[in-house]
Amino acid sequence: MRIEVLGCSGGIGAGLKTTCIKINDSILIDAGTGLELLSTEAMLKLRHIFFTHAHLDHICCLPLMLPTIYDRLKQPLHIHASDTVISALRDCIFNWTVWPDYTQLPDQAGSLLRFREMPIDSTISLEGLLITALAVNHPTPTQGYLIESSEGAFAFSGDTASTPEFLSRLYSVKRLMHLAVDVSFPSEQKSIAKASGHYTPASLKADLDRWPEGCPKPSLHITHLKPGYEDRVMEQCQQLLSDWNVLRLRSGDQLTFESDD
């Protein structure tokens, strides 16, 4: 499994791209502004996009990509998401007012987009991977994803505030090598973090303190940092989570899975 981080920031600005993670050549998790980094050829290889939720920083580049590829895409693009996200895309984006309805283009017989509802706790088997949607805690229905391959597993929280259930589901995952978790705000901004549904270093520590003794710890990648607060958040994470291998997720990161066979 090859995982490439295209975008993972909580905002935009020079060098900052919002959430978009590529798995192998054909799968994306979210379609934030990180998607802009793909060449047209790479966009044409995409077959599946899994959405965590419908907030703009996670969906904005799906509509923007379609005019680039629609006339050369040989197979439909499958959109896997909760019913809330599918409704939001249909009603609020592809409604001819905000953007053309690409579910009707190029013609009604052969649309570019295929929507497939992915409920919480469902698993889909795709290209040798098992992809499972896991509930997290954000102001709109949001799901993280667990991606398991023969080489190891990767878990991605999406946007979330404290969500012990998501983390406890991971305790039994075999060879969980990488875990990426949203920590948008420093601990002193706990009010805005709580209101907007994001972890702080302190709230993440409280949940990770429940990680069972003896249960292998994956590398912990901190994602969705708010622009301007990156150093402060990372400093607090390193200090509070000193028993974890804590890394700042960055656009351009490639996560590797070394076999221990």
- 48 to 67, contacts with Zn ion by CB under 5 A? 55, 57
**Count of Cβ atoms closer than 10 Å to residue 174 Cβ:** 8
Q: Give yes or no for residue 148 binding Zn ion (CB under 5 A).
A: no
Amino acid code (one letter) for 245: N
Report 102-141 residues binding Zn ion (CB under 5 A).
Answer: none
Alpha-helix runs per DSSP H in 150-224: 164-170, 190-196, 201-208
Tell me the closest approach of the beta carbon of residue 53 to Zn ion, in angstroms: 6
Tokens linked to 9: 């920031």
- As a 3-state breakdown, the chain gives helix, strand, coil percent values, each rounded to 5, of 25, 25, 45
- The dihedrals phi and psi of 154, each to the nearest 5 degrees, come to -130, 130
Q: Residue 188 carries which DSSP code?
A: G
Using the rule CB under 5 A, give the single segment among 107-115, 155-163, 171-179, 212-220 that binds Zn ion: 155-163
Contact present, 229 and 185 (Cβ < 8 Å): yes
CA–CA dist 142, 47 (Å, integer): 22
Task: Enter the tokens of residue 17.
Answer: 């791209």
Q: Which stretch binds Zn ion (CB under 5 A): 81-89, 104-112, 153-161, 247-255?
A: 153-161
β-pair type (219-223, 153-156):
unpaired
30 contacts Zn ion (rule: CB under 5 A): no
Residue 83 CB, shortest distance to Zn ion, in Å, is: 17
Q: Which stretch binds Zn ion (CB under 5 A): 92-100, 118-126, 156-164, 239-247?
A: 156-164
- CB nearer to Zn ion: give 80 or 148: 80
User: Please, which residue, 179 or 225, has the CB nearer to Zn ion?
Assistant: 225
Q: Shortest distance, CB of residue 189 to Zn ion, whole angstroms? A: 16
Q: Site for Zn ion (CB under 5 A): which residue of 159, 178, 186, 207?
A: 159
Q: How far is the CB of 73 from Zn ion (least distance, A)?
A: 27
Question: Nearer Cβ to Zn ion, position 144 or 201?
Answer: 144
| Nearest distance in Å: CB 155, Zn ion | 17
Regarding beta strands 219-223 and 77-81, do their DSSP bridges make them parallel or antiparallel, or are they unpaired? unpaired
* Side chain identity at residue 194, one-letter code: K
- Least distance to Zn ion from the beta carbon of 136, Å? 10
| Residues of this chain that bind Zn ion (CB under 5 A) | 55, 57, 159
